[in-house]
Structure 1
Amino acid sequence: MDLKKLYPILFLFLSFNFYAQGERFKEKREQIKAMKVAFLTSELDLTPSEAEKFWPIYNTFDDKQFELRHQKMKGYFKRMQDNELDKLSEKDAATLLNQIEDSEEDLFNLRKKFIINLKEILPSVKIIKLKKAEEDFNRKLLQQYKDKGLKK
């Protein structure tokens, strides 16, 4: 077979493969998001009025937090692979460290603004319950992931 004819077919196959992986990631993220909503709803016991105001604020916060963690920091972690770390100059390492610190500060400021917004609609006790419920959910999710890995 002519190599020139093989390249477009190979490219098309790889494109579909990457698209499918992206779609699976989106599906998993949506499943996790739905589980999280159900979990937080049961843990927080929001009134209908609170829920109406809470969920738009929470969803915006959650989306921005995801973007910060997975879009910005993804690039940093790629550069921090074992074989790449040894190749970093001190200047590049300092620059990378500053970028990571900036991202961490952005996450902190996002959460701080989120809490300020929540104080307008929820009592402090429920905000603390939210923090605990998020941590409990993350632990539960991690445990499910570990259990699934052990069954394979």
Structure 2
Amino acid sequence: MSILSSTFRLLSLAALLLTVAPAAHAQGGLGGGRKGQRLGQLENAKIAFITNRVSLTQDQAQKFWPLYNEFSTRRRELNRSGRLLRRDVTDGMTDPEIRDNFNQAFAMRQQELNLEKEYFEKFQKAVSLRQVAQLFQAERDFTKEVIKRVAGAGGPPAIDTN
């Protein structure tokens, strides 16, 4: 697996974890308040982590977070569609059906790339180019930290935002 592919997968996991959190928290959790509380804590930790890493001023944060939330929502929708495509491949499919499924998955990945490019430009209207670069690095670092902690502790504990 290439570095770009693994980075994309890590970012997708973080996006999934953090974009599911608000919906789960608003609905009282996924089957229980404790799980929803953990997802809410994860979302809050990501916000604090990114705000700290990117050194957002209050003015920048007011412009940045609505854009970032919009970006996350759109990315989550694309990731969900992509997961459904990958899950659809079955032993009963013909070769043309499998090829079509892959072509759809490739198109979905292209849409994700286009979305990142679109928001790369939009983010620069709220924060500096350097801060945009720091944002993408902070997302990767946060995802790595979440994976490390989940694998080591069986659940997402509080994440140090410094």
TM-score with structure 2 setting the length: 0.70
| Alpha-carbon distance in 2 for matches of 1:128, 1:73 | 26
Give secondary structure in 2 for the equivalent of 1:116.
Answer: helix
Report the CA distance between 1:74 and its aligned residue.
2.7
Report the CA distance between 1:145 and its aligned residue.
1.4
Listed one character per residue, the Cα deviations across residues 35-66 of structure 1 (whole Å, up to 9, x for unaligned) are 21011011111111111100000011011111
User: Structure 2, unaligned stretches of length 5 or more?
Assistant: 1-26, 156-162
| Alpha-carbon distance in 1 for matches of 2:57, 2:29 | 39
Task: Give the match for residue 124 of structure 1.
Answer: 129
Task: Give the match for residue 69 of structure 2.
Answer: 59
Task: Give the match for residue 98 of structure 1.
Answer: 103
| Alpha-carbon distance in 2 for matches of 1:112, 1:146 | 32
Q: Identify which of 25, 29, 48 aligns with 2:58.
A: 48
Q: Identify which of 68, 74, 83 aligns with 2:78.
A: 68
Task: Give the match for residue 87 of structure 2.
Answer: 78
Larger Rg: 1
Change (3 A) 1:89 1:20: farther
Aligned length: 127
| Alpha-carbon distance in 2 for matches of 1:94, 1:43 | 42
Report the CA distance between 1:143 and its aligned residue.
0.5
More relative contact order, 1 or 2 (CA 8 Å, 6+ apart): 1
User: Structure 1, unaligned stretches of length 5 or more?
Assistant: 1-18
| Alpha-carbon distance in 2 for matches of 1:122, 1:22 | 34
Report the CA distance between 1:31 and its aligned residue.
3.2
Which aligned segments of 4 or more residues in structure 1 are displaced greater than 6 angstroms? none
- Contact 2:86-2:105 at 8 Å conserved across structures: no
Report the CA distance between 1:97 and its aligned residue.
0.5
Report the CA distance between 1:149 and its aligned residue.
4.1
Identity within the alignment, %: 24
Task: Give the match for residue 35 of structure 1.
Answer: 45
| Alpha-carbon distance in 1 for matches of 2:29, 2:131 | 37
- Counterpart of 1:122 in structure 2: which amino acid? V
Change (3 A) 1:58 1:87: same
| Alpha-carbon distance in 2 for matches of 1:24, 1:92 | 39
- Counterpart of 1:130 in structure 2: which amino acid? L
Report the CA distance between 1:32 and its aligned residue.
2.4
Give secondary structure in 1 for the equivalent of 2:110.
Answer: helix
